[in-house]
Amino acid sequence: MSDETRSNEAGRVPCAAELADRAAIAEIIALHCRGVDRADEEALKSCYWPDATTAYGQDDVPAHIFCAQLVSAIRAFLQTHHMVTNSICAFDGAQARVESYLVAFHYLVSEGGKDSEMTYLGRYLDLFEKRGDIWKIKHREPVMSWSQNVATTHDSKHPALSALRQAARYPDDIVYK
């Protein structure tokens, strides 16, 4: 089945080419989460085409400029953890509209010792584009469902956790070793 004749009927068995396309898109979505959480600008930029845009506010902005700004902003948090769960892809030739559910945790250290956690729940609405054999984001718009802010309950000295390696930002995280 060619890209042009691909059906988006729910429950349809996808062909091997579509499975490969879905895997490539899923990899970009996961790499974007890593790029945010590790504050890795190059990983983030590699998820977007050079002419891509994002709409994290009211206006579309060039994605590569946004990636640089995001890295600076994300470093305000001690840690972040982004998870994408359900993703739905609708293919149209060399483009795919992808809706992915997102849960993101943000750990903010307070000078007064009252650290907080902000949890964000929402979705990414992405337009992916395939150029040659490469899928990347052409446009991304997050949609918020809700968020919550609470005092943290993190205890890094807890016996079950104290021996574990701690996550870090780029280039210090173990994934880059």
For the stretch 12-57, pLDDT in tens is 888 999 999 999 999 999 999 999 999 999 999 999 999 999 998 8
The confidence band for 5, taking pLDDT boundaries of 50, 70 and 90, is low
Is the confidence at residue 1, as pLDDT, over 70? no
CATH number listed for the domain at residues 14-176: 3.10.450.50
Write phi, then psi, for 37 (nearest 5 degrees).
Answer: -65, -30
Q: What is the 3-state secondary structure (H, E, C) of 68-91?
A: HHHHHHHCCCCEEEEEEEEEEEEE
Give 103's pLDDT tier (boundaries 50, 70, 90). Answer: very high
- Answer yes or no: is pLDDT of 167 > 60: yes
Cα dihedral 141, 25, 76, 174, rounded to 10, equals: 180
Q: Is the dihedral of CA 41, 45, 50, 52 positive or negative?
A: negative
| Neighbouring-strand partners of residue 17 | none
Percent of the chain with pLDDT over 90: 79
Provide the pLDDT for residue 3.
Answer: 47
DSSP three-state, residue 147: strand
